[in-house]
Chains A and B, each alone.
Chain A
């Protein structure tokens, strides 16, 4: 029955490619839909928030925490409004996660605060008795990697046209020589966060011009809403 096709290997290959490409198309085309564009008011992450996001990925928070609220009443009651795809427009990669050992964090910025995160990351059971989350004390001593965060922001601006430096959007600059300015900006942002924190070592570090990981992570957590 397929004798004719089997005798023409090139044509057969093209046919196979078309059939498989169709499946790919079904997956790719929706990404260009209006619903996948950034939602109104969505801003790209600041350099400090990207540094926090990198800490989040480095310490594998996404292994236990999801960032996707499904449209079920039981979920929206606990975590807030359900997620829509346009909210992840600036997430590279997205951190939906696949498993909830801990609660969802997609809107954690709406109902947890800087001082709460500070207590919680230092010793989770001090605020959530029975929590099995380990403490992340090292984040209070280690400094966040601002260079990499800056490089990521600059890259996505140049490669993916992420609207940095547009009116009302975070600043990152146009070349790597703008790093010092971006770092200053990040320090200003960090100071606003440490004003709500109690740990004196962290406050001192920021005053010295360093940014501990915990400050970057809290900036990222507070941006999630």
Chain B
């Protein structure tokens, strides 16, 4: 082996970003579209129930583009705003979406090959779904950034458009829990275990991540468990080879 033996396969300076990649990303994300449509409809309905106008609702879906954080925001939404309430809402939003800090970090070695401007653009559309798709694609040796971007853009368009009927139909949308819609992302997350599996040894950090996340969820309200568990898993992965 030469000095490049620590590089993953297909590494080097290749930085493809193609239309075919974007189409592949669209195809990969299409599986999730029915679930996302119902999620967006449910958000639109919740927003109209809270008295948000259609323009405000659409703006939030288009600019924030984070389903869980938008639903959490509906719990905190109010007719009159003080600066303190706005700062509070921003802080809660950041804690709900803090997982994307780690998701971005995990794909940074791949993204780093592309121009900063392109990364700043496509990260606006970076969300759970295209992180999962990109992670699996990269684990299988793929290197075309178009897959991440195509999936993110396609999902964004559907997310924003599907907010409209939700806002207009409002109360007509019955309990989305009945159809298991609240489980779409958890199922997609859980299924990712299979393509990510690299044997029992490589799964030790995941066990640590799971234990720390469960413990954190017991002790701390909100979504801190994702961050605490993921970091514990990454640290375990970073240092355990020294001991063996």
A and B from one complex: no
- Enumerate chain B interface residues (CB-CB to A < 8 A): none
